[in-house]
Chain A
Amino acid sequence: MILLSIISLFTILLPSGMVFYQWKSTDIATRPIRLLLIITLILDSIIYYYFITGQNKNNMFLFHVFTFLEMILLILYFRSFFRQNWIRRMFFVLLLLFSVMVVLNIFYWESLDDFPSIPRTIECVVVMILSILFFINLFQQSTVSSLMRYNHFWLVSGLLLFFAGTFFMNIVGSLVINKNDLGFNVYDIHSFLNIFLNIIYTIALWMSSRRLISAQ
């Protein structure tokens, strides 16, 4: 289903539009997310450009770059919720390790022309763990009284669902992307998850602009 993929690509316009709409936002907590959305917009545009112009160039290097940037920004995002110094240092170590891993991966295992299966799988695991740590941390502080009105709860829940959902696809990479087994394509699930995540991003940003949250 090419159409679904294209729709999925286009949904980035929603949250990134939100970023531009509240360009002057001073909300520090969502800053990495907003940056990530702009980067996503740029890369998605390039992919779309390749698609439209029918250039059958291999664009896998974009995934390498994107995965790297996405992981860095997400680590920074999660880091902002922790106050303890040693935990903050651990985030930094994690960031370094991941960067080193990405570089090594390009040289030794998956070149820029291959799907970056290893970094993406590791990213999934890291985000899932960090999400759960975020929830646990939220309890211990118990400063937020209404989760439904807390934009970061939405954001982290969305991230957790997205990365849990894409976990298996990333392991096998592009191997089975176009196999039709249970009546639908594996990539369709990815498109759905992507649309879902973009909607969550939009909701969360909209909430922070409405000041519905009680910032930590």
Chain B
Amino acid sequence: MDEQQTLDLGTVIILGTMGMIILAMGVVVFFFIYQRRMIAKQNELTMLELQHQKELMGAVIQTKELEQRRIALELHDDVGSTLTAIKFSVSSFTIGDKDKELLNNNLADAIQKVRRISNDLLPSILEELGLITAVKSLIKTLNDNKTVNYVFESFGEQIRHPKDVELACYRVLQELLNNILKYAHATEVRVEIVLSQSGLVVIVTDDGDGFVPEDHTNHERPSLGLKNIESRIQQIKGEITYEKRLPKGTKVLIDWKRHE
């Protein structure tokens, strides 16, 4: 009788122990799976957020482009034509020749400025004559600034790519050159464009301080330029790479391919 009881106790203990071990394993496995799911969900959420941010950025750029277009047209058609009208009516004024000439010069200057601004906002030359010509003209105006020497070269075929691609490249180039002027302390900047049926490549090299976006992580002041560049390149499904050059300077390469 006594023998029987201890035997039973032993069995209970062994079974109980097994039960506990299985339970503990269950707990570990449960937490493991649960945690995995949670991480996956979290990743998905951040991905969605990122995607959303990108879309927002794209929308902002689009709106900005539309707004610029509106202002440019307004400037050109409204202010510009008003100024031109005034210029023509000056000849009928009864004032001295000298005053007339001064007025004429000032007016011509104003018209010129309005044209330049509206062209900056909406590079009509880009739409009409294409990327190469537009960049050539951009470089020419930039070369009026004597501290930096800009060189432009184009290679490949004389073809046109979709409007949005050309515009994106042009805007990115504007921002890149702007940044170089502002921060790089460069003396010579080269812009090269290679056009082909399969796509286009834009290369900007300078001999300045050298810069890659990863360097710029302290955002003590708002800066949109680099983000805009990334967003625009993403929208046309292109690629942009920054690279420090030896001994000094930066090389930026924009690569876009047709039918990706």
Q: Determine the residue in chain A with the shortest Cβ distance to B8.
A: A181
B9 touches A172 (CB 8 A): yes
If over half of A's interface residues share one DSSP class (helix, strand or loop), that class is named, otherwise mixed; here it is helix
A165 touches B39 (CB 8 A): no
A147 touches B35 (CB 8 A): yes
- CB neighbours (8 Å) of A184 from chain B are 14
A167 touches B28 (CB 8 A): no
B38 touches A168 (CB 8 A): no
CA distance in complex: A153, B27 (Å): 12
**A29 on the interface (CB 8 Å rule)?**
no
B27 touches A160 (CB 8 A): yes
A176 touches B13 (CB 8 A): yes
Question: Given contacts A139-B34, A161-B24, are A181 and B17 in contact (CB under 8 A)?
Answer: no
**B59 on the interface (CB 8 Å rule)?**
no
**A211 on the interface (CB 8 Å rule)?**
no
- CB neighbours (8 Å) of A189 from chain B are 14, 17
B24 touches A176 (CB 8 A): no
**A142 on the interface (CB 8 Å rule)?**
yes
- CB neighbours (8 Å) of B32 from chain A are 147, 153
Within 8 A of A (CB), among B5-36: 6-7, 9-14, 16-17, 20-21, 23-25, 27-28, 31-32, 34-36
Q: Determine the residue in chain A with the shortest Cβ distance to B34.
A: A139
**B187 on the interface (CB 8 Å rule)?**
no
Q: Determine the residue in chain B with the shortest Cβ distance to A136.
A: B31
Within 8 A of B (CB), among A83-133: 128, 131-132
25 contacts between A and B (CB under 8 A): A128-B24, A135-B27, A138-B31, A138-B35, A139-B35, A142-B38, A144-B35, A147-B36, A157-B28, A160-B24, A160-B27, A161-B21, A164-B23, A164-B24, A165-B17, A168-B20, A169-B13, A169-B17, A175-B6, A175-B9, A179-B6, A181-B7, A182-B10, A186-B17, A189-B14
**B63 on the interface (CB 8 Å rule)?**
no
CA distance in complex: A139, B24 (Å): 18
A-B pairs, 7 with minimum CB distance: A164-B24, A181-B10, A179-B10, A164-B20, A168-B16, A135-B31, A157-B28
Q: Determine the residue in chain B with the shortest Cβ distance to A161.
A: B24
CA distance in complex: A158, B25 (Å): 10
- CB neighbours (8 Å) of B9 from chain A are 172, 175-176, 179
- CB neighbours (8 Å) of B39 from chain A are 142, 145
**B42 on the interface (CB 8 Å rule)?**
yes
B21 touches A164 (CB 8 A): yes
Least CB distance from A37 to B in Å reads 21
CA distance in complex: A12, B28 (Å): 24
- CB neighbours (8 Å) of B38 from chain A are 139, 142
Question: Given contacts A182-B14, A186-B14, are A165 and B6 in contact (CB under 8 A)?
Answer: no
CA distance in complex: A169, B34 (Å): 31
Least CB distance from A191 to B in Å reads 13
Within 8 A of B (CB), among A133-177: 135, 138-139, 142, 144-145, 147, 153, 157, 160-161, 164-169, 172, 175-176
- CB neighbours (8 Å) of A181 from chain B are 7, 10-11, 14
Contact with B along A6-29 (1 / 0, CB 8 A): 000000000000000000000000
Least CB distance from A181 to B in Å reads 4
B24 touches A165 (CB 8 A): yes
A160 touches B28 (CB 8 A): yes
Least CB distance from A178 to B in Å reads 10
CA distance in complex: A131, B31 (Å): 11
Question: Given contacts A147-B36, A157-B28, A182-B14, are A165 and B21 in contact (CB under 8 A)?
Answer: yes
CA distance in complex: A193, B21 (Å): 10
Q: Determine the residue in chain A with the shortest Cβ distance to B15.
A: A182
Within 8 A of A (CB), among B36-66: 36, 38-39, 42
